[in-house]
Amino acid sequence: MSEPVLEMRKISVTYGGIIPAVASVDLKVEPGEIVGIIGESGSGKSTLAHSILGLLPKAAKVSGERFTLAGKDMLAADREGLAALRGPAGAMIFQNPMTAFSPIHTLGRQLTDLLWRDRDQTVARKRERIVAALRDVGIPDPIGKLDAYPFQFSGGMLQRVAIAAALLMKPSLLIADEPTTALDMTMEAQILHLMRTLRENAGVAILIISHHLGVIAEICDRVAVMYAGRVVEEGSVEAIFRNPRHPYTQALFACEPALIPPGVTRMPVIPGEVPRPGGIGCDFAGRCGFAEDRCLTLSPPWAPAQADPLHHSRCLRSAS
């Protein structure tokens, strides 16, 4: 059996050694797999994604039992070691493609700079690789676009260039943080199709973060639901969408516009706010309509579903 591209075991992220942002997360991504992470803003999704590539500020401290990316120990790596892993081990597509590139340099110049490690290749050879990558992501006239500036592209086209930039480094893991947020529905569908093609043709493993449940259902193999810095439910897309076990997952689905029954005049909401991780009892107890007295004092176990041992949730009700 092949080694996971990403393996996180009991990983936590704290700021100043005091404030937790991610608490004891377990997560795996296998070669060629697409895993989605969903949850409200403030649930720790982006912090977790940035920790994978060592992109957190200096005040952040990452700790845990095991943390490997493409077989490399991320807990033991220093800042120089983390920088060396960005690209070959993992690359990221950020939320806003309009701010992903320098506005004062051509795209050809910026994409060429990404290939600085390949010192044995000529500039002409690097340009050939860049043109091929732009063509692969559907950029028309890729040779002509090398001399263009970012402001001459639409948001959708820039997102395609961002994907091409990540793929130029041939990463084992591609992290996509809300990659379709700024796009219209047509361009969103094209980007999702492109990501599926990358998985099928290049075997790239993908970790995608999204608020959009439709995006997750469309592209992912497995889903991890994050709340207050923890993974509270994980399983296959089919298991999570057909039979969500955690009340928080159920509440997220109830608020998804596409899933609201016809005739409903008020948009459902989850009352309250996401608490700081690390409290006593269940983090969701204060917002949960099913909470019992024991939920306020007992930490819920990570329990498998009886019908599906690969489907887990962190809830006292689902574990009993």
Q: What is the pTM of this model?
A: 0.88
The pLDDT tens digits of the residues spanning 90-108 come to 888 887 778 888 999 999 9
Q: Give domain status of residue 283, yes or no.
A: yes
pLDDT-based confidence at residue 320 (cuts at 50, 70, 90): low
On whether the CB atoms of residues 221 and 31 are closer than 8 A, the answer is no
Q: Give domain status of residue 176, yes or no.
A: no
Q: Give domain status of residue 149, yes or no.
A: no
Query: For residue 316, is pLDDT > 70?
Result: yes
Domains held by the chain: number = 1
Q: Give domain status of residue 186, yes or no.
A: no
The pLDDT tens digits of the residues spanning 231-245 come to 999 999 999 999 999
The pLDDT tens digits of the residues spanning 290-315 come to 999 999 999 999 999 888 889 999 99
Q: Give domain status of residue 313, yes or no.
A: yes
d(CA 93, CA 214): 19
- Structural domain that includes position 303: 246-320
Q: What is the pLDDT of residue 247?
A: 95
Q: What is the pLDDT of residue 130?
A: 92
The pLDDT tens digits of the residues spanning 44-83 come to 998 999 999 888 888 899 999 999 998 899 998 888 888 8
Q: What is the pLDDT of residue 249?
A: 95
**Percent of the chain whose pLDDT exceeds 70:** 98
Q: Give domain status of residue 65, yes or no.
A: no
Q: Give domain status of residue 208, yes or no.
A: no
Q: Give domain status of residue 304, yes or no.
A: yes
Query: For residue 186, is pLDDT > 70?
Result: yes
On whether the CB atoms of residues 23 and 229 are closer than 8 A, the answer is yes
